[in-house]
A and B are shown apart, each in its own frame.
Chain A
Amino acid sequence: MKARYQEAALSMRKNEVWRNVNFEAFLKEELSLPDQAMPRRYDYQCNIPNLEAYRVAFVNGYATMPTFATEAGVTCCSINEARRNHADLLRQLAAQVDTDGNPYLALNADAATDGLFLYVPDGVRLQRPVQLLSVANADTALMLHLRHVVALGRGSALTLIQCDDSHTDLAGFSNNVTLVSMDEESHLEHYKMQNLNDSTALLNQTFVTMRQGAELRSVGVTLNGGSIRNHNVVTMLGEHCNTEVHGLYLIDREQRCDNYVYVDHACPNCNSRELYKGILDDAAHGSFNGHVLVREGAVKTEAYQSNKNLLLTDKAFVQTKPFLEIYNDDVKCSHGSTIGQLDEQALFYIQQRGISLRNARTLLMYAFCDEVLQSIGIAALRERLADMVKKRLHGELTACSECALSCANTCGCTPPDFNIDPTKL
């Protein structure tokens, strides 16, 4: 398997879309494919306070539960079970999703051990979010391949929270594919949270195909990981679709995070909006590659791309490439990217109130992240992620009470002196 990845990486070295991605260093000797007989320990540490969700965990490549209780006619099971019990439906829904045929997709198809099959029938609006957890928690280093198929029927609604976590310090390598089919007027909120150890690489591919009037909001938050590639492909095949793809990446040391967003405006009257923000410290390396294609005839398209980066050191590096390809008049499109440092005058303002430089920097970094966090629609998830971002930003700081951000005390360190929410007093 490792040899096949090396071969694929070699073949894509000159490919515009994949050239930035570099995970060969993570194809470690000790990695092996998982065995279904391995114990699957998982104790739901990734819970979100005040959020009631259907939790689905994939540990060491396999579902921890064969079936899941859900609402009104929703099919939610492991892909292995779906192959046995819903083979036709699975095949039909998966075929509706357009992919870009990259070689890693085929590698995933060959090696996938399991995945989630989730089908929300016409008109069903799932009240609770589905939280999809993928974790490695074994005594040996694993190469994991999951393939999820998610389908939304006409007029249905779903919130999907996808979390990738490491539970050990062992090396890891994951290539996960999520195929999403959205029928007419369906609504998907897709949140992705990534918190992996420094010796893990994650290739996270999401393909979404939308029919008329469908609405997608995707927000990815990358908090930690050795090398993470977020590969997003969205195809809008009907009119009046609305797509938001947002991302936040906070990386340091020698970490890498590459973000690719391809949005295909195949029909008139569709909107897309991309907002990616990154903070890069130490010798971290990031990239944003956004490609919007507005096809001939796709009039009244609105497409916006924005990528903003803060580089905290001279060694941190980011490549940004917003790109619009338009074969039409009568469209509104814009793109922009910035790479900069923290604003000196804003730092001066905060310090002038007696706040230390360190806390002033942390406050401004958090302020920078806020725009992306605000696009998270579920309050409980937004607060949880805001908290994790705060913890990430105060980094090595052991005493929370020294920090300006007053996050909730979930990290087990000294609780902050203050945790004021005036609305709760």
Chain B
Amino acid sequence: MSLLSIRNLHASIGDKEILKGVNLEINAGEVHSIMGPNGNGKSTLAGVVAGNAKYTVTQGEIIYKGRNILDMPVDQRACEGIFLGFQYPVEIPGVSITNFMRTAVNEQRKYRGLDPLSAKDFMALMEEKKKVVEMTSNLANRSVNEGFSGGEKKKNEIFQMAMLNPTLAILDETDSGLDIDALRIVATGVNKLRSADNAIVVITHYQRLLDYIVPDFVHVLYEGRIVETGPKELALKLEKEGYEWLKEAQQ
């Protein structure tokens, strides 16, 4: 059974239909990359899977761990192991990353029937996971994303992913706004989190990220549908030839 199975998914913002019948199967242990021109539904797909109320699902289903999750609230989906790395992470002044993560980790533990982590264990977990993205203590004590550079925000997303240890991580343009060093750190961090039990979906415009995070499958989302799926070499072809050939093939 697939970890995630998206079937004929249609979704809109207001009256505008963005997703027009997406089909996608993802198994544990796989890395999928979703590429495609701007404004064709990549972020919408990520948002719909995570449960963003901005979008209305009009048709189709999302089966995660064997269960249709369309009616499941956002926080419950997160507790079930769905993580979204945001393209534009939100600033929360006055709330330190430490306190934010403490709340998130313990709410997720509570959902799973586990006791909250002790202060000591939590801090040990923080220390361990900070290393994944070479995060400084200074950053961890700052308010969530407040005044962070683009690189710091994306590092913080991957740090949170490490803390929460999701089963399905969807990373929405995690490479945008990163310099070369930050890209390497973030991508290396993601690779450290790969395992046979989880799946990662990487939404990106650039082959460069996929040099680090090597995908098992590359999908092209065009006009609200996945129009092409191939091995990692598809990303190279797209990098070289752009999307024109696909658009022509569609017409």
The residues of A with any CB-CB pair to B shorter than 8 Å are: 343-346, 348-357, 359-360, 363-364, 366-367, 369-371, 373-374, 386, 401, 404-406, 417-420, 422-423, 425
Given A344-B53, A353-B78, A369-B94 in contact, is the A417-B89 Cβ separation under 8 Å? no
Instruction: How many A-B residue pairs have C-beta atoms within 8 angstroms? Tell me.
Output: 108
Query: Are the C-beta atoms of A363 and B95 separated by less than 8 Å?
Result: yes
Query: Are the C-beta atoms of A420 and B79 separated by less than 8 Å?
Result: no
Query: Are the C-beta atoms of B75 and A366 separated by less than 8 Å?
Result: no
Q: Chain B residues near A418: list those with CB within 8 A.
A: 102, 106, 116, 119, 122
Q: Chain A residues near B126: list those with CB within 8 A.
A: 422
C-alpha spacing A121/B73, complex, angstroms: 62
Query: Are the C-beta atoms of B92 and A367 separated by less than 8 Å?
Result: yes
**Does chain A have a CB within 8 A of B148?**
no
Query: Are the C-beta atoms of B119 and A420 separated by less than 8 Å?
Result: yes
Closest to A419 in B: B119
Interface secondary structure of A, over-half rule: helix
Query: Are the C-beta atoms of A420 and B99 separated by less than 8 Å?
Result: yes
C-alpha spacing A349/B141, complex, angstroms: 19
Query: Are the C-beta atoms of A346 and B90 separated by less than 8 Å?
Result: yes
- Among B143-176, those with CB < 8 Å from A are 143, 160, 164
Task: List 16 extra interface pairs beyond A420-B122, A420-B123, CB under 8 A.
Answer: A349-B90, A351-B78, A353-B78, A353-B160, A354-B75, A354-B78, A354-B107, A354-B108, A360-B75, A367-B93, A370-B95, A370-B143, A418-B106, A418-B122, A422-B98, A422-B137
Give 20 pairs: A residue, B residue, CB < 8 Å, sorted on A.
A351-B78, A352-B75, A352-B83, A353-B78, A354-B104, A354-B108, A354-B111, A355-B103, A355-B104, A359-B103, A366-B94, A367-B93, A370-B95, A371-B93, A404-B103, A419-B119, A420-B99, A422-B140, A422-B141, A425-B119
C-alpha spacing A423/B106, complex, angstroms: 21
Q: How far is the CB of B87 from chain A (nearest CB, A)?
A: 11
- Among B50-65, those with CB < 8 Å from A are 50-54
C-alpha spacing A354/B84, complex, angstroms: 11
Query: Are the C-beta atoms of A425 and B107 separated by less than 8 Å?
Result: no
C-alpha spacing A146/B74, complex, angstroms: 53
Q: Chain B residues near A373: list those with CB within 8 A.
A: 94
Q: How far is the CB of A33 from chain B (nearest CB, A)?
A: 42
Closest to A404 in B: B103
Q: Chain B residues near A345: list those with CB within 8 A.
A: 54, 90
Which of A345, A370, A422 counts the most B-chain CB atoms under 10 A from its CB? Answer: A422
C-alpha spacing A356/B110, complex, angstroms: 11
Query: Are the C-beta atoms of B164 and A353 separated by less than 8 Å?
Result: yes
**Does chain A have a CB within 8 A of B206?**
no
Instruction: Choose among B83, B102, B107 the residue that contacts A420 (Cβ–Cβ < 8 A).
Output: B102
C-alpha spacing A366/B144, complex, angstroms: 13
Closest to B127 in A: A422
Q: Chain A residues near B90: list those with CB within 8 A.
A: 343, 345-346, 349-350
Closest to B88 in A: A345
C-alpha spacing A307/B137, complex, angstroms: 34
Q: Chain B residues near A366: list those with CB within 8 A.
A: 94-95
Q: Chain A residues near B84: list those with CB within 8 A.
A: 352
- Among B218-246, those with CB < 8 Å from A are none
Given A351-B74, A352-B78, A373-B94 in contact, is the A417-B104 Cβ separation under 8 Å? no
Q: Chain A residues near B106: list those with CB within 8 A.
A: 417-418
Query: Are the C-beta atoms of B103 and A363 separated by less than 8 Å?
Result: yes
C-alpha spacing A386/B96, complex, angstroms: 13
Query: Are the C-beta atoms of A367 and B74 separated by less than 8 Å?
Result: no
Q: Chain B residues near A420: list those with CB within 8 A.
A: 98-99, 102, 119, 122-123
Instruction: Choose among B51, B78, B89, B100 the residue that contacts A363 (Cβ–Cβ < 8 A).
Output: B100
Q: Chain A residues near B51: list those with CB within 8 A.
A: 352
Q: How far is the CB of B207 from chain A (nearest CB, A)?
A: 28
**Does chain A have a CB within 8 A of B217?**
no
Cβ proximity bits B26-61 to A, threshold 8 Å, 1 near / 0 not:
000000000000000000000000111110000000
Instruction: Choose among A357, A370, A406 the residue that contacts B75 (Cβ–Cβ < 8 A).
Output: A357
Q: Chain A residues near B100: list those with CB within 8 A.
A: 350, 353, 363
Given A349-B86, A369-B94, A418-B119 in contact, is the A357-B73 Cβ separation under 8 Å? yes
Q: How far is the CB of A384 from chain B (nearest CB, A)?
A: 15
Q: How far is the CB of A419 from chain B (nearest CB, A)?
A: 7
Q: Chain A residues near B93: list those with CB within 8 A.
A: 367, 370-371
Q: How far is the CB of B4 from chain A (nearest CB, A)?
A: 16
C-alpha spacing A346/B143, complex, angstroms: 14
Q: Chain A residues near B99: list those with CB within 8 A.
A: 404-406, 420
Q: How far is the CB of B2 from chain A (nearest CB, A)?
A: 22
Q: Chain B residues near A367: list those with CB within 8 A.
A: 92-95, 143
